[in-house]
Structure 1
Amino acid sequence: MTITATAPRAAAYRGKLRWWTELPLIAVVYALYSGARLLVRGDVDDAVEHGADILHFEQLTHLDPERWFNQLLTHHAFLGVPADFAYASLHYVVTPSILVWLWLRRPTHYRVARTWLLVSTLIGLIGFTLVPTAPPRLLPGAHGFMDTMAQYGSYGWWGTDASAPRGLGHLTNEYAAMPSLHVGWSLWCGIMLFRYGRHRAVRALGILYPLTTAFVVMGTANHYLMDAAAGVATMGVGFLLARPALRLVDRTQLKVRGRSAPQQPVTIASAGASSAQPPVTVPSGGAPARAHDLTAREAGGAGKVPSPRARPTGHDDPDAGGTSEVGRGERSRMS
């Protein structure tokens, strides 16, 4: 049997999804994401120390391409300006667009994909809370990083506070670099495009988009390589937890519906019963009375109802060992 034969039809499956429940759910998780970045600022000294420790570890392992990427964007505006626009906008445009695309074109896969994204985002919030981290652009000047968002701020709507619009920098948490959900969300988008896209160009975009995002976040000095790796790991854990989370939600919904469902009585109408005789009512979930018990009640004591297990007499069964004339005659002929 093919997959298309067993999978539910897209139109029928979409009927089980409700936009008036999906939009508030996504809005609540995004509000938690933004609110946690704002409220959980942590200590600035600890955040700078965490950032310096990450950079030192990368230098020891020779896995520190951030500085080279940053110099490339700093010295070449034709690369730096598009990178700044990409960092400030794509994160908030591409991800919702792919959610809508899945809703419309791949509804049978939407629910798992949406749960994967939401669970991973919540895990990222835990990282922001436990490990406040200063990005490379906020490290002391001796480390040699340049804030390209500030350098090319006259080209866009952002100010000197990362991608926040001018005058709204106080509404963002600049010390939420670990993990990089820019990279994590772009990886999710890339997998959705590569897996469910039908054209080669769409699948190629699914490969290029997360790679480009990783380059942008490091080149603009907003994330370390380890932040990007942590974003990938976060999406991996979210993927493993998505289906168990859905099963837990489904079981909870079934229990709630079972408790709230009213107990309807079941009426058993006896065949051949008088119209004046009331029907037998059995509570829902209970065992109905046996058929011969109902027949005995209907007889009203007029006679005993024969047991269905009663054995036939010798007159009825020629093979029985009784004293009927037929039986004796048969044995005399045989002898």
Structure 2
Amino acid sequence: MPRPDTARPETTAPTRLRWWTELPLILLVYACYSAGRLLVRGNESTAVDHGLAILRFEKSLWLNAEHPLNRLFTREPWIGIPADFWYASLHYLVTPAILIWLFRSHAVRYRAARTWLMTSTFIGLIGFTLLPTCPPRLLAAGHGFVDTMAQYSSYGWWGGQASAPRGLGGMTNQYAAMPSLHVGWSLWCGVMLWRFGGTRTTKVLAVAYPLITTIVVMGTANHYFLDAAAGAAVMGLGLLLAPLVIRNANRARVWITARVAPVAPVASVASVASVETPSRGAEASIVSGECQTAPRERIPRQRESDFGPGAEPGAAPADAGDGAAAAAR
């Protein structure tokens, strides 16, 4: 039997999550993500070179779906305008909504799902840092792309710079295109809906949401097809790393707890045994106050029923009536 003071930290029960600790954590991670995107602005010429290299590679493999989709969205406002709203809003609405739904309805699965999402997001931030990429909409007009967000900006709150509100375009990193976390986050939402939705409607939404998002990011000229594929790959890598992140977080919590609130020393086995096991002297004579009784001896005014199951003879019983006292004598 392992000693209590040598138990491994991994065997500790998980702490129950509370919304007042989860909300600041999620806001902090999102703030770090947004600040990281802003601080790692890539060089414009480098970003353009990366974008053109991706476009040439796609054309060599006949993967260039961006041009026909972008022409369709530009020519048909009834498709282009809803697509712009989709790109500018659902990324920031659906993901938090599913996080809240998981927290309230599937608390056991929530921590692993949240860790997967956060791990993948930070991996995406590394991608923005190492590979700044110019999206199709910012390439020269000769490359055949139209920025639908700018074309239909009068219908929404965004301006001509990405999906940022008018006047705030300078606060975004427009070269954070590789990987596409619009696609990555929508894929995470789809997996959560498929696994925990439980109805046919949620399963349809689980497939439709990431699929439509992939079409939207290419049709609005915000991402290349390879950006979308990289977003899916980042989510896959995050899924593999999430268990490792959780284990390290558990170890860190145990380490911090042990130093902030050290546990009281555990009594030795011998001392515990001496407390729990009475000695033979204690069995031979039981002292109650200043009256000593021998084993099996009854105290006057004691009923037979006072010795219940497991009661020791000689223990102090409750008071009894006169009739029981006479019987005891």
For 1:58, the equivalent position in structure 2 comes to 58
Distance (whole Å) between structure 2 residues aligned to residue 59 and residue 236 of structure 1 = 26
Q: Is the 1:183–1:232 contact (alpha carbons within 8 Å) kept by the matching residues of 2?
A: yes
Q: Deviations over 1:102-121 (max 9, x none)?
A: 01111111100000000000
Q: 1:239-254 to 2 correspondence within 5 Å?
A: 239-254=239-254
The question of 1:100 aligning with 2:82 is answered no
The question of 1:168 aligning with 2:168 is answered yes
Distance 1:264 1:168, change over 3 A: closer
Q: Deviations over 1:159-181 (max 9, x none)?
A: 00010111111110100000000
List gaps (5 residues or longer) in structure 2. 1-12, 283-329
For 1:270, the equivalent position in structure 2 comes to none
Query: What do you get for the CA RMSD once the two structures are aligned?
Result: 2.1
Distance (whole Å) between structure 1 residues aligned to residue 205 and residue 263 of structure 2 = 54
Q: 1:143-222 to 2 correspondence within 5 Å?
A: 143-222=143-222
Distance 1:262 1:141, change over 3 A: closer
Work out the percentage of aligned pairs sharing the same amino acid. 58
Distance (whole Å) between structure 1 residues aligned to residue 17 and residue 34 of structure 2 = 26
For 2:270, the equivalent position in structure 1 comes to 288
Q: CA deviation at 1:258?
A: 3.0
After the TM superposition, which of the residue ranges 221-230 and 195-204 deviates more from structure 2? Answer: 195-204
Q: Is the 1:190–1:205 contact (alpha carbons within 8 Å) kept by the matching residues of 2?
A: yes
Q: Deviations over 1:1-37 (max 9, x none)?
A: xxxxxxxxxxxx9981111111111111111111111
For 1:30, the equivalent position in structure 2 comes to 30
Distance (whole Å) between structure 2 residues aligned to residue 79 and residue 138 of structure 1 = 21
Distance 1:263 1:201, change over 3 A: closer
Q: Is the 1:14–1:108 contact (alpha carbons within 8 Å) kept by the matching residues of 2?
A: no
Which amino acid in 2 is paired with 1:227?
A: D
Which amino acid in 2 is paired with 1:258?
A: A
Question: Residue 176 of structure 1 aligns to a residue in which SS?
Answer: coil
List gaps (5 residues or longer) in structure 1. 1-12, 266-283, 299-335
Which amino acid in 1 is paired with 2:149?
A: M
Q: 1:261-272 to 2 correspondence within 5 Å?
A: 261-262=261-262, 264=264
Distance (whole Å) between structure 2 residues aligned to residue 99 and residue 153 of structure 1 = 30
Distance (whole Å) between structure 2 residues aligned to residue 92 and residue 106 of structure 1 = 21
Distance 1:163 1:14, change over 3 A: farther
Distance (whole Å) between structure 2 residues aligned to residue 207 and residue 105 of structure 1 = 21
After the TM superposition, which of the residue ranges 181-190 and 253-262 deviates more from structure 2? Answer: 253-262
For 1:3, the equivalent position in structure 2 comes to none
Q: CA deviation at 1:184?
A: 0.1
For 1:41, the equivalent position in structure 2 comes to 41
Distance 1:49 1:262, change over 3 A: closer
The list of structure 1 runs, each at least 4 consecutive aligned residues, that deviate by more than 6 angstroms after superposition, is none
Distance (whole Å) between structure 2 residues aligned to residue 136 and residue 54 of structure 1 = 10
Distance 1:243 1:15, change over 3 A: closer
Distance 1:85 1:171, change over 3 A: same
Bigger Cα Rg: 1
Which amino acid in 2 is paired with 1:228?
A: A
Question: Residue 154 of structure 1 aligns to a residue in which SS?
Answer: helix
For 1:18, the equivalent position in structure 2 comes to 18
Q: Is the 1:136–1:224 contact (alpha carbons within 8 Å) kept by the matching residues of 2?
A: yes
Q: CA deviation at 1:82?
A: 0.2
Aligned length: 265
For 1:81, the equivalent position in structure 2 comes to 81
Q: 1:249-328 to 2 correspondence within 5 Å?
A: 249-262=249-262, 264=264, 284=266, 286=268, 288=270
For 2:112, the equivalent position in structure 1 comes to 112
Distance (whole Å) between structure 1 residues aligned to residue 168 and residue 126 of structure 2 = 24
For 2:318, the equivalent position in structure 1 comes to none
Distance 1:241 1:14, change over 3 A: closer
Distance 1:263 1:115, change over 3 A: closer
For 2:122, the equivalent position in structure 1 comes to 122
Distance (whole Å) between structure 2 residues aligned to residue 287 and residue 109 of structure 1 = 39
Question: Residue 95 of structure 2 aligns to a residue in which SS?
Answer: helix
TM-score normalised by L of structure 1 = 0.75
TM-score normalised by L of structure 2 = 0.77
